[in-house]
Amino acid sequence: MEKTLLKPFKIIENAHIDQPKGFTAGGVHAGLRKSKLDFGWIYSEVPATAAGVYTQNAFQAAPLQITQEVLKQSDQLQTIIVNSANANSYTGEQGYQDAVQMQQLAAEKIGVDPSLVAVASTGVIGEMLPMDLIKGAIARIDENKDADAFEHAILTTDTKTKHIAVEVEIDGKPITIAGAAKGSGMIHPNMATMLSFITTDAKVEGDSLQQGLKQSTNQTFNRITVDGDCSTNDMVLILANGMQNNNTLDQDHPEWNRFMEAWQFVSRELAKMIAKDGEGATKLVEVTVEGAATEEQATQMAKAVIASSLVKTAIYGEDANWGRIVSALGASGVPFDKNSLSIAIGSERIIEDGQLLSFHEPNCVEELVKDTVQLFICLKDGSEKATAWGCDLTYDYVKINASYRT
């Protein structure tokens, strides 16, 4: 079933990462977790143009190093393998060699060159991979060709899978863009804790794909936060296998913006799913800043509010403590005209042009009990705006992370 939107693309309902032509995906239980799927793969029938962006944490895990090395040599990938439960991070030379062996074994099993295989891992930091279990899982690639299984296999503390696909017409051809992601804790803007994979059957030029990924990531995945912690393992990869045989898309193609709008929608929806599924979260929080001097400043201010533990706990408590929003803005490091500041919680205006209004607190509570809480901040310093996403901070977040390894 397809749902038509007032947009130049259609959401494909109940679609998964394998929706674009030529892609398959699957997952198995390797034994890294007690009973859940924990090893998955994505495969393209033909080598795909690929691009990646990576965590800014100084301790980048071995799988990220391998994947970056592959994409530095060429912009082609055909397979991605992923394990959960063990991050293979801060594991030294042995961890690096284990990631290399994962890549080589997967290449042999699938029948592709190792240079076409990307590796990703997520889970506990500082523990060596149980390579006997990993080898057993790689030997079972193709055993369970089920994209839903892949989407379950990559999860850690997530409570649900995260996937979406859209169709957009390019050069008269039905181009599909699909995405799957994991992420629930250690989430903070600037390419933090998550893995996200995007597939498309469009033909896209390599440099434009990389630039498009950077743009898309900066406006979506880099605008979410759960807890302010930045992980060692996380990245976004996109594979474009060209199997719809459109005219090669690049930034000069007349329908590039149409393609980017669909792509950014996929990325934005995945980012929001990650934020909403934050560890222990009960609400998605959306902060929009308008009227800033620059988009960068609007983004910085929105991130400051969404990352504030005091704001997040007030939202969990459904307490219209607007002073915490003001405090977060003041601590954002962005200069702005305080006398022109306006703030609203949903439809309830709190401050207008620097003046506190006689707002009706029960109306604010009505906004704060919603599944999605919207905060609006308006300045008069320019015409730029940005939105960031996060979640509330609850008792359950502490419980989950106090016993993460047990």
CA dist 107 and 117 (Å) reads 7
Phi, psi of 182 (to 5 degrees): -130, 150
CA dist 210 and 214 (Å) reads 6
Q: Is 303 annotated as a binding residue?
A: no
Continuous H helices in 8-123: 62-73, 92-110
Q: Which residues pair with 54 in a beta bridge?
A: 235
Do 225 and 306 touch, CB atoms closer than 8 A? yes
Residue 271: its H or E element? helix 256-276
The secondary structure of 133-150, three-state, reads HHHHHHCCCCCCCCHHHH
Residue 4 annotated as catalytic: no
CB atoms within 10 A of CB 131: 15
Active-site residue (options: 55, 193, 217, 394): 193
Chain CA centroid to CA 148, Å: 18
Phi, psi of 371 (to 5 degrees): -65, -30
The one-character DSSP state at 353 is: T
Q: Is 157 annotated as a binding residue?
A: no
Q: Is 406 annotated as a binding residue?
A: yes
Helix (H, G, I), strand (E, B) or coil at 267: helix
Q: Is 182 annotated as a binding residue?
A: yes
Bridge pairing between strands 284-292 and 372-378: parallel
Q: Which of 163, 202, 201, 212 lies closest to 11 in space, CA to CA?
A: 163
CA dist 177 and 260 (Å) reads 10
Q: Is 156 annotated as a binding residue?
A: yes
Q: Is 257 annotated as a binding residue?
A: no
Q: Which residues pair with 119 in a beta bridge?
A: 81
CB atoms within 10 A of CB 69: 12
Q: Which of 354, 301, 350, 353 lies closest to 321 in space, CA to CA?
A: 350
Binding residues: 156, 182, 193, 279, 401, 406
Q: Looking at the annotation, which residues are catalytic? A: 193
Annotated binding-site ranges for substrate:
156, 182, 193, 279, 401, 406
